[in-house]
Structure 1
């Protein structure tokens, strides 16, 4: 039983072309440059953040005033859920210190990001497509100074992009008790 494409109409012909364009076209980064489409087996973004979900925030990172020593002094507050008590730690690097468990590991993660020229506290770009995978109710805020720049960032696990941001800085958030 053979069907003619003319009987299916123009929509049936357009769909494979749209799928191919999306697969080959990739996505745009926050700076407008294009990235290649993810390889098979990688996490594929499907839509933007859930409507009504507050966007993650981070203040623009301004350089420290000239003459001040670049350093890291952060306050990290984590909640396992909206109803749980917050857990707060401090972190300093150069020298490593504060109340954060595994402070040395956290400072190493931050130093690696700085060496790559990355801002680990930058929010997900507003036009970034993210998978709608819920990672849990955890939230965190990080305030203070990183590498001589002001930081005021929030983190959550409400979609794939936010789960990735959380994972990149997991050493800052410590282990959380199970949600009750």
Structure 2
């Protein structure tokens, strides 16, 4: 339904733009009026909030079931992610302003000047690409020190629980 509506709007716009030059041939240009097109966005939910569409790639986690490439869509939850609803719920928590995560971006890298414990959390790596709340995401994760481990754990269950 949504696709048909978008295609109809695009086709109508194409027909109108092709007819406008012929209509203007003898009378001059038509005034341009700013008319917003009410096209539904493929990246918005029914309530107007931005959808999430992410690709999660996990490797070397030590768990063959956790390793792999997963698609995660939210609003509604879906894709090939093994716990899509829980992952979407976790991401939605970052969108809610609270004292713990006000304005938090779970994909932001650890600051270069951060003081991190020198502990090794395993060789697991992950990369998340796509869009979250209308923003482009391209983030890499590992477990090479305390800060990176905490960053990984903050995104569970989007990222798997590894030890």
**Which stretches of structure 1, 4 residues or longer, exceed 6 Å deviation after superposition?**
none
CA–CA separation in structure 1 for the residues paired with 2:159 and 2:136: 19
Alignment partner of 1:143 is 2:123: no
- Count of residue correspondences: 110
CA–CA separation in structure 2 for the residues paired with 1:121 and 1:90: 16
- 2:89 match: 108
Residue aligned with 1:166, SS:
helix
Unmatched segments (≥5 aa) in structure 1: 1-66
Q: TM-score, normalised by structure 1?
A: 0.56
CA offsets 1:21-80 (integer angstroms, 9 cap, x no match) = xxxxxxxxxxxxxxxxxxxxxxxxxxxxxxxxxxxxxxxxxxxxxx76321000000002
Residue aligned with 2:86, SS:
helix
How much has 1:81 moved relative to structure 2?
5.5
How much has 1:102 moved relative to structure 2?
1.1
Alpha carbons 1:101, 1:174 under 8 Å: kept: no
Structure with the bigger RCO (C-alpha within 8 Å, sep 6+) is 1
Unmatched segments (≥5 aa) in structure 2: 1-40, 45-49, 98-102
Which structure has the larger Rg over C-alpha atoms? 2
- Gap change, CA 1:120 and 1:174, over 3 Å in 2: same
- 2:141 match: 155
Alpha carbons 2:72, 2:78 under 8 Å: kept: yes
